[in-house]
Amino acid sequence: MKKIKGVITLLLLTVSAAAQQVTVSGYITDKISGETLIAAEVISGKNGTVADNEGRYSITLPEGEIALAYYYTGYKSESITIVLQKDTSINIALERSESITESRVVAVSGTGIRATQMSAMQMPTAVLQRAPVIFGEPDVLKAVQLLPGVQQGMDGFSSFFVRGGGADENMFLLDGVPLYNVSHMLGLFSAFTPESVKATTIYKGAFPARYGGRVSGVVDIRTNEGDWYRLHGAVGAGLLSSKLHLEGPIIKEKTTFSVSGRLMHTALLTPALKIAKVGLGYGFYDVTAKVTHRFSDRDKLSASAFIGQDDFDYDRNGERQAMDWGNAMAALRWHHVFDGRWSINTRASFNRFGSTAKYGASNEKAIYDSSYSSLIRDWSVSSDVDGRLSPRHHFRGGISATYHHFAPSTRFVTTENDEDGKVLADLVNNPLYNGGEVALFAEDEITLFPGWTILPGLRYVLMASSGAAYHSLQPRLSTRFGLPFGLAFKGGYARMGQYVHQLSASSIALPSDIWVPVTASIKPVTSDIGSLGAYYDGLEGWQFSVEAYFKWSRNVIDYRDGASMYSSTENWESLVEMGVSRSFGVEFYAERTIGPVTGWFSYTLSKTDRRFPSGYINNGNWFPYKYDRRHVFHIYADWAIGRNLDISATWSIMSGAWLTLPERTAAYLNVAESKMDDIIGRELAYVTFYYPSRNNYHLPPSHTLNISVNLRKKIRHGVNHWAFSIYNLYNAMNPNLVFMKQDHYGINDRTPITVTKMTYLPILPSVSYTFKF
């Protein structure tokens, strides 16, 4: 009987304690524009939370008098004291800080030192706008390249590789919708303008269960909703392109819009160049737009759209090339708040990526034409919930369904070069793939006790394509254990799966790169990654971290030795092999977060290699991955001299990439009916190249110093902003391109090859002007 009474008493105490908990929720916005502030931090004693992607926060606290403090990078903090007796809604508007010393860097969107999630970072908007880049074009993805664990591809280009993964193993999300192509000029610039971006978060491994579809990295970009109170914008021009940004209310405090557009100057001249038969033309453009309607504090509807396109034409001396590629996206999203603790997001979206590359040449006898194309269409619906099961449990869960359509194509045509134009050969490979993908996820951030949290999650995926069906369970786990004086330790593990592949034979993004789905013979890529880290922010104005990881991937694909989509119309499945990849490394990071001079330095020590057991690649032996850069060091610094002047600089030094080059060549003649003495001096029949192994040549290290000066002057109707930048300030002759050089060919003899390196990005000064009104 006493035991029963004891149990009842314990239950009553538990219920009473739970009843004493109340929830404070609301939105955190910019005081001037009303724009929601993603990842703003809310602190009450030892309790804290961050605003979600809608700028909404929810924190459960005990009844009574409590103090709440609100923080966001670049804004003045705000503190209030209230007496809580029931669930309460409090909306807070923060004011921009005139001095960076008044702001503070916080744990953002589930990232940062005090968050449970590890290997995740958010790029401050100021860095995106100020960091020096090529031709003065602000670039979201080039700023991401400065983070530890992110390997740069070719110098100056926006592609990157996360912890040993391939470029196609990164997921790029724009307002939650995946994009397959995110660059212009073959990767020299990214397709996102900083004016349209509100927040950029990158996950480098062990990402939460709500993310899937890729096995290396996630770049989650959220766009601006627009100013809720007044119309304003910006117009600007640089050396290569011009841009326009507008935002403001359609219905004040009810409906708002934001639109950004960019156009390369030469795009306006391309039609005239074609008429004048100059034989060369190139241009690109992109447009990002969003409209948001707020029915109430509980309901919000938004429509997002993006389109980006590149076009290139060349026709001279009998050689013809035409390439175009681009992405288009449209999404409709509804956000509903049930009460102070729970909300739901429902989204419907369409995404299209298309690329075409056509090549042509002719001689006296024949005309040769070839074309490569890739078309992807995705239709998707999703719904996810976010809320608190209890003060110690923050739950997220959801479901999504996607219909994929893939249409890769290659064609080779040969016709006679005469009036009849008789077709001599017409080889076509035009497979079509349709597939369906369903994913479910659940994750729960649990506070075991103050200072120790865990984030277990589970993702289930079912993918059916081309007569094959694959399903997988992908467990995720992150944990954080905090100690006094600002010290914390984290650990994480994740299994991830990928159901699309990109076939590429180049180190830059080409229109001839083809996206293909999994099939009966080509399995999904799966990856397991484990990581440990230590973090310290006990020194005011500084953050330090060190992370170590190990990653193992299966079913990565690559072309067989000697195979390429450029020279074959065979089914692509017969040209590739599946193998394994292993990566491990250590990443060091230190950041100065307050004061007139801010920035960070990072160092990554890593190793990545691959193996294809079938023997068709490198005889089945391990070989270094192309972008296995052993040492990578970055420094970023920003000096805010005053409100109207700042100077930014980046300096990077990194180990060279790997290339596959022949050691020597041999020239042979057909001597079936001739003696060697009779054929000396004849035209060579063919030349063979001897490759000892895959990625056998290690490029030398590269290093670059870039600097920019931003000068702003307020005038009557707006602000003039001049940006002066110099890329590769001391003109480092980095080996951007490599050519094989051979003085002569020996007949039936082996001739060694010399390698010639070329720099195509010397010192490049630039200037741009923007008028903000």
Give the integer Cα–Cα distance in Å for 244 and 230.
17
- What percent of the chain stands above pLDDT 90? 41
DSSP assigned state of 104: -
Question: Per residue in 641-653, pLDDT tens?
Answer: 988 899 999 999 9
Residue type at position 410: T
Whether the predicted pLDDT of 592 surpasses 60: yes
Distance CA 119, CA 490 (A): 10
Report whether pLDDT(673) > 70: no
Look at residue 655 and tell me whether its pLDDT is greater than 50.
yes
Tell me the HSE value of 255 on the side-chain side, using a 13 A CA sphere: 4
Residue 18 pLDDT: 43
Residue 17 has pLDDT above 60, yes or no: no
Q: Per residue in 456-491, pLDDT tens?
A: 999 999 999 878 899 999 999 999 999 888 899 999
Query: Residue 645: what pLDDT?
Result: 92
Q: What angle do CA 644, 601, 550 make, to 5 degrees?
A: 140
Q: How far apart are the first and last CA of the chain?
A: 77
In this predicted structure, the answer to whether residue 89 has a pLDDT above a threshold of 60 is yes
3-class DSSP state of 678:
helix
Task: Give the model's pLDDT for residue 98.
Answer: 59
What pLDDT, on a 0 to 100 scale, did the predictor assign at position 63?
86
Of 201-215, 404-418, 479-493, 724-738, the one with minimum mean pLDDT is: 404-418
Count other C-beta atoms under 10 Å from residue 490's C-beta.
Answer: 24
* pLDDT tier, 269 (very low <50, low <70, confident <90, very high otherwise): low
pLDDT value at 678 more than 90? no
CA distance 409 to 356: 9
106, pLDDT greater than 50: no
pLDDT at 75: 84
Look at 111-125, 480-494, 755-769 and tell me which has the smallest mean pLDDT.
111-125
Q: For residues 717 and 707, give the distance between their C-alpha atoms in angstroms, rounded to a whole number.
A: 29
Predicted pLDDT of residue 554: 96
Q: Which whole number is the average pLDDT over 408-436?
A: 70
Token pair recorded at residue 691: 């490759």
| Tokens representing residue 48 in the block | 């804290």
Higher pLDDT, residue 512 or 88: 88
Banded pLDDT at 506 (limits 50, 70, 90): low
345 beta partners? 335, 384
DSSP state of 626: T
Q: How many CB atoms within 10 Å of residue 303? A: 15
pLDDT of residue 578: 94
Burial of 550 (0-12, 13-18, 19+ CB in 10 A): middle
Percentage of the chain beyond pLDDT 70 is 83
Torsion of CA 265, 271, 277, 280, to 10 degrees: 40
Nearest to 26 by CA among 345, 340, 333: 340
* Cβ neighbours of residue 569 closer than 8 Å, sequence gap 6 or more: 410, 411, 412, 427, 428, 429
Q: Which two tokens stand for residue 67?
A: 């103090």
pLDDT at 731 over 80: yes
Report which of 217, 156, 145, 214 is spatially closest to residue 186, judged by C-alpha positions: 156
pTM score = 0.87
Q: Using CA atoms, how far apart are residues 199 and 150, in angstroms rounded to an integer?
A: 19
**4-8, 41-45, 186-190, 686-690, range with greatest mean pLDDT:** 41-45
Considering only CA atoms, which of 302, 294, 300, 303 is closest in space to residue 336? 300
What are the strands, taking DSSP E only, across 5-152? 21-30, 41-44, 47-50, 56-62, 64-71, 78-84, 88-89, 92-94, 120-123, 150-152
pLDDT score recorded for residue 463:
94
Beta-carbon contacts of residue 8 (< 8 Å; ≥ 6 apart)? none
Band the pLDDT of 681: cuts 50, 70, 90.
very low
Mean pLDDT over each residue of the chain, to the nearest integer: 83
pLDDT of residue 384: 96
Query: Nearest Cα to 514, choosing from 407, 432, 361, 416?
Result: 407
pLDDT at site 178: 94
Rg from Cα positions in the chain: 28
Please give the pLDDT value at position 14: 40
Q: Has residue 364 got a pLDDT over 70?
A: no
pLDDT value at position 752? 66
Beta strands per DSSP E along 682-772: 686-690, 697-698, 702-715, 718-727, 737-741, 750-752, 754-758, 764-772
pLDDT reported for residue 100: 44
Cα atoms in the 13 Å half-sphere on the side-chain side of 590: 7
What is the pLDDT, as a whole number, of residue 652? Answer: 94
pLDDT exceeds 90 at position 107: no
In which region does residue 505 sit, left (phi positive, over 0), alpha (psi from -120 to 50) or beta (all else)? alpha
Give the pLDDT of residue 593.
Answer: 83
pLDDT, residue 152, reads 84
Between these two residues, 562 and 209, which has the higher pLDDT value? 209
Q: Tokens at residue 109, please?
A: 């969107």
For residue 526, name the pLDDT band (cuts at 50, 70, 90): very high
Enter the tokens of residue 477: 């786990």
Q: How far apart are CA 631 and CA 167, in angstroms?
A: 19
